[in-house]
Structure 1
């Protein structure tokens, strides 16, 4: 394999839809960690295995690689339900008769890092909940001496115990980054959820989050379900390898086993699509839980679907106001044609998600039989999928264009599929500046690029059977690295079918099929 091919394969492996880490090797590595951090000599004063829980917390939150010195070990503190969420804190929230442990999850916003409570995955509750309940508030889980023991164990070369030598283990870095590797290749996890867990700098497609927006309550649910999936893979492997006996720890005198969690789910975790967190409020001597308001993470330029529908209705009315049927003069015909050009450009952006940069059109030589289209985007060619509605609009527009241009004496074919015609009959290339001016007259304060944001948001919020995976959204948006673009990536009809179905559904969502031209019938 050549160097370039290896880079391309590595990029594809990091993208959504790639291969997750080997669960059998991860289970064996985790078993060794359990043996190491449940040794009786690990802690100085009791057998509560606080070091094990600190290790699991750092492993879950992908912080083990950051421990390069003793001072890097955080003071994991217990907070009360009345305290504000801060870094490296745990709390137990009681919902009815069920207590659930939550940890501080950082959210990266334009205003800085915000910490919000995130429920721990179900499999870890059996270990964390009883121990956190026994801790004093605002007291570090490990003292300085115990931290030194913890750091020494992390730095030691891990010798595989005799009973575990029949199992192959992951490399240390692969095991430490198990959750981050799973997050990167998880096709069912949105780009914004990945940004929350990995940080903006570690995303495979860094610009993907700039086009979407989600509420923190929904992100919290997605993260909770994703972490449960990743741990469930390991638990299945533990049972397949018959390693359950290596995952038992005595917490406060009671044996607990990671691979056999018998725990009821709290009611607040069962809501469909969201998880709302609460904070204890004390007022006039009374205590009650109040929901922490959800905030939006991601793009600040998203458009409401209703507003986009209103915009296209207004644009349609503007175009039809210039349609005088058979009584049009040449000048009136030209004005109507120009407005049809503007309308087609807006449809093209909204129904394909292309970047409205210099020329918002298609090159005729890059449109193959009206079915396959390629556009030059950020220095490379990429394919664009046209829905049937957009194909119909282009076909009708080309007929109108041919009728008009034949009436000018110096007509010359233009490589741009759609373009404007000035008062002298000269062809004028459609530019982003012209499109912004036209949009401002119909929708002040909004720019055409926000229609691309809207396209991404629609793809994110589509429900089954039109829901798209992260990789499919990236493909539609043109987000790619070396190894994932035209000429390097394989596209099969079966893999493109969900994209076609989504684009057809988007037309119906926007109500475009109900817009009729004078004397024109659009097939549904």
Structure 2
């Protein structure tokens, strides 16, 4: 395989929709971890070690552990002090809490670090995934507030476990296993290839140097509740795919957490708990099973009463995005302007040119908001590069890519072409430009629509709004579409985000995928309140 082909293959593997890590070899590594913990910790609470280790693994804090260990010795001081706090305590690193809801049920949350748009580090409460709540909820409940879960000796045990060579138990000697460092990166690898996780949420979970489409996130906007919900379901998917597979292997006893009776907390002891306990009564609160899963709460003393408040929401992503209602208002205003400016039989040549230019700019703006094109790259369609105005190819950042045109936009383009033909016939104009829509200057010479001229046109009708806002709106519509839900890869494809080897894919082999995209594109005109406008 040549260098370019290898690079293209690598890009496709890293892309959303790529192959998830192998379940059997990952499960084998997981069982090796449990087996090693039991081997070296006969007289200690192995369950406690594994709970902390699973927390570090789930939150991607082990991704570069072996690399750091090779560069600088890691000590017990590098093992975090995990502890339980009250609902009224601040959300800070390595803190856990049990949140009680109105229905009397509770759920366990952990502190997750995130970076705000201003560059500040902030911790937010994140609910534990559903498939491991049967471990974390009783474990957290059985601990006192503000008491570290691990002693110095237990931290050393955990450190030894991380550094030790993991061996297979005899029962799975013939199973393949991935390397320890790849196992540590399992969650990160899943995030990269997850086709349901949005590019924006991925950007908050992955280092910048391994984000596949680095700029895709800046076109989308989500708040803390959206991100928290996405991550909750994503983490549950990544763990469930492993646990469901492990269940089919019949290895439940190899994935059991044992809690020693000598380390009881609050006069209570925990029984041994299987990681694969599908029959556990999880007592799921209504908030977790509904759309409220992303809402986090904290308690606050008001006088002598302890009241519950929703945590402050943080907005991530696009800074250009404006309310969708403003997009609707802009196009409604232009629609009314065109309707009122339609020339009659007494119209002068200047009136006809003005009206034509108004309609041409309208088509250009529709093209951006209904295709997501970059307004600095392709504002019009080449007359020789379209297929009955249903599809077209455009040059985008040095690559040719296909653009699909929805039925409404095609109809408007055909209306514009009729107007252009009528104008050329009346005024005897010559238009040799290669573009399907263009402008005429004061000397009746055809000129191409430029990014600057379109920006000035929109600025006169919507002060402070630039055409690039329409591309952001297209991306946000794709991410928030519910009826015609798109995968992350489909959104990237529509937006033109691709690395080498992804531009000329095989979408034509999957008509179902193309149909879903077409249904989404055809839904946009109604969403933006666009109505058919006959220019002639």
Give the whole-Å Cα distance in 2 for the aligned partners of 1:42 and 1:408: 94
Q: Which residue of 2 aligns with 1:104?
A: 111
Worse-matched range after superposition: 135-144 or 263-272: 135-144
Q: Which residue of 1 aligns with 2:55?
A: 57
- The 5-angstrom pairing of residues 259-298 of structure 1 reads 259-261=276-278, 262=280, 263-272=282-291, 274-298=293-317
Q: Determine which of 188, 193, 203 is the counterpart of 1:195.
A: 203
Q: Which residue of 2 aligns with 1:186?
A: 194
Q: Determine which of 335, 343, 368 is the counterpart of 1:324.
A: 343
Q: Deviations over 1:278-297 (max 9, x none)?
A: 11111211112221132322
RMSD after superposition = 2.1
Matched, 1:436 2:455: yes
Give the whole-Å Cα distance in 2 for the aligned partners of 1:99 and 1:199: 33
| Counterparts in 2 of 1:478 and 1:119: CA distance versus 1, 3 Å | same
Cα deviation, residue 141, structure 1 = 2.7
| Counterparts in 2 of 1:364 and 1:28: CA distance versus 1, 3 Å | same
Q: Which residue of 1 aligns with 2:497?
A: 479
- The 5-angstrom pairing of residues 166-181 of structure 1 reads 166-181=174-189
Native 8 Å contact 1:16 1:471 kept in 2: yes
Cα deviation, residue 339, structure 1 = 0.3
Matched, 1:237 2:245: yes
Q: Which residue of 2 aligns with 1:92?
A: 98
Native 8 Å contact 1:24 1:241 kept in 2: no
Cα deviation, residue 320, structure 1 = 2.1
Matched, 1:404 2:410: no
Q: Deviations over 1:391-450 (max 9, x none)?
A: 111122122222323455672411122111011111122111111111111111111100
Q: Which residue of 1 aligns with 2:264?
A: none
Give the whole-Å Cα distance in 2 for the aligned partners of 1:380 and 1:273: 43
Worse-matched range after superposition: 367-376 or 15-24: 367-376
Give the whole-Å Cα distance in 2 for the aligned partners of 1:495 and 1:97: 44
Cα deviation, residue 308, structure 1 = 0.9
Give the whole-Å Cα distance in 2 for the aligned partners of 1:77 and 1:273: 26
Worse-matched range after superposition: 180-189 or 46-55: 46-55
Give the whole-Å Cα distance in 2 for the aligned partners of 1:267 and 1:49: 29
Q: Which residue of 2 aligns with 1:414?
A: 433
Give the whole-Å Cα distance in 1 for the aligned partners of 2:378 and 2:270: 71
Q: Which residue of 1 aligns with 2:13?
A: 13
Q: Determine which of 454, 470, 474 is the counterpart of 1:455.
A: 474
Provide the secondary structure at the position in 1 that maps to 2:384.
Answer: helix
Native 8 Å contact 1:42 1:149 kept in 2: no
Q: Which residue of 1 aligns with 2:521?
A: 503
Give the whole-Å Cα distance in 2 for the aligned partners of 1:65 and 1:20: 17
Give the whole-Å Cα distance in 1 for the aligned partners of 2:188 and 2:499: 19
Worse-matched range after superposition: 231-240 or 187-196: 187-196
Give the whole-Å Cα distance in 1 for the aligned partners of 2:121 and 2:246: 36
Cα deviation, residue 241, structure 1 = 1.0
- The 5-angstrom pairing of residues 345-364 of structure 1 reads 345-357=364-376, 360-364=379-383
Q: Deviations over 1:255-288 (max 9, x none)?
A: 1111014112123212226421111111211112
Matched, 1:383 2:402: yes
Q: Determine which of 197, 213, 216 is the counterpart of 1:208.
A: 216
| Counterparts in 2 of 1:182 and 1:307: CA distance versus 1, 3 Å | same
Q: Which residue of 2 aligns with 1:160?
A: 168
Native 8 Å contact 1:38 1:49 kept in 2: no
Matched, 1:343 2:362: yes
Q: Which residue of 2 aligns with 1:258?
A: 275
Cα deviation, residue 451, structure 1 = 0.6
| Counterparts in 2 of 1:230 and 1:295: CA distance versus 1, 3 Å | same
Cα deviation, residue 470, structure 1 = 0.8
Q: Determine which of 149, 163, 187 is the counterpart of 2:157.
A: 149
Cα deviation, residue 37, structure 1 = 2.3
Provide the secondary structure at the position in 1 that maps to 2:63.
Answer: helix
Cα deviation, residue 8, structure 1 = 0.9
Using the size of structure 2 for normalisation, the TM-score is 0.91
Give the whole-Å Cα distance in 2 for the aligned partners of 1:158 and 1:116: 34
Cα deviation, residue 13, structure 1 = 1.2
Q: Which residue of 1 aligns with 2:266?
A: none
Provide the secondary structure at the position in 1 that maps to 2:457.
Answer: helix
Cα deviation, residue 86, structure 1 = 1.4
Q: Deviations over 1:145-183 (max 9, x none)?
A: 332332222122212122221322122232211111211
